[in-house]
Homo-oligomer: A and B are copies of this chain.
Amino acid sequence: MNIYIACELESSEKKIIKNNLKKHNLYFSNLKFKKIADNNFLKCEIVFGNIPPDWIKQSSKIRWLQLESTGFAEYSSVKKNFLNKGVIITNLKSFFAHQVAQTVMAGIFSFYRGLDSFALLKKKKKWIGDPIRAKLEILNDKNILFFGKGSINQEIAKYIKVFNCKYSFIDSNSKKSFAIQKVKKAEIVICALPGTAKTKMLFNKKMINSLSNQTILINVGRGNLINEKYLIKKLKNNDLKGAVLDVTAEEPLRKNNPLWSCPNLILTQHTGGGYKDEITDKVNFFLNNFQRYKKKIKVLNKINPMKGY
Known pairs A102-B139, A118-B267; list 7 more (Cβ under 8 Å).
Answer: A102-B109, A102-B138, A106-B112, A122-B267, A123-B123, A130-B274, A159-B163
Q: What is the distance, in angstroms, from A282's C-beta to the closest C-beta of chain B?
A: 11
Contact of A136 among B161, B255, B271 (CB under 8 A): B271
Q: Is the CB of B109 within 8 A of A275?
A: no
Q: Which residues of B have CB within 8 Å of A267? A: 118, 121-122
- CB A13 to nearest CB in B, in angstroms, measures 12
User: In which size bucket is the chain A interface?
Assistant: 35 or more
Protomer copies: 2
Decide yes or no: A129 and B251 within 8 Å by CB, A119-B116, A158-B162, A275-B138 being known contacts: yes
Is B102 within 8 A of A268, CB to CB?
no
Interface residue? A74 (CB, 8 A): no
By the criterion CB–CB under 8 Å, are B122 and A260 in contact? Answer: yes
Of the residues B112, B159, B260, contact of A125 by C-beta under 8 Å: B260
Interface residues of A (CB under 8 A from B): 98-99, 102-103, 105-107, 109-110, 112-116, 118-123, 125, 127-130, 132-140, 158-159, 161-163, 251-253, 255, 257, 260-261, 265-276, 278-279
Q: Residues of B contacting A271 with CB < 8 Å?
A: 113-114, 129-130, 132-133, 136
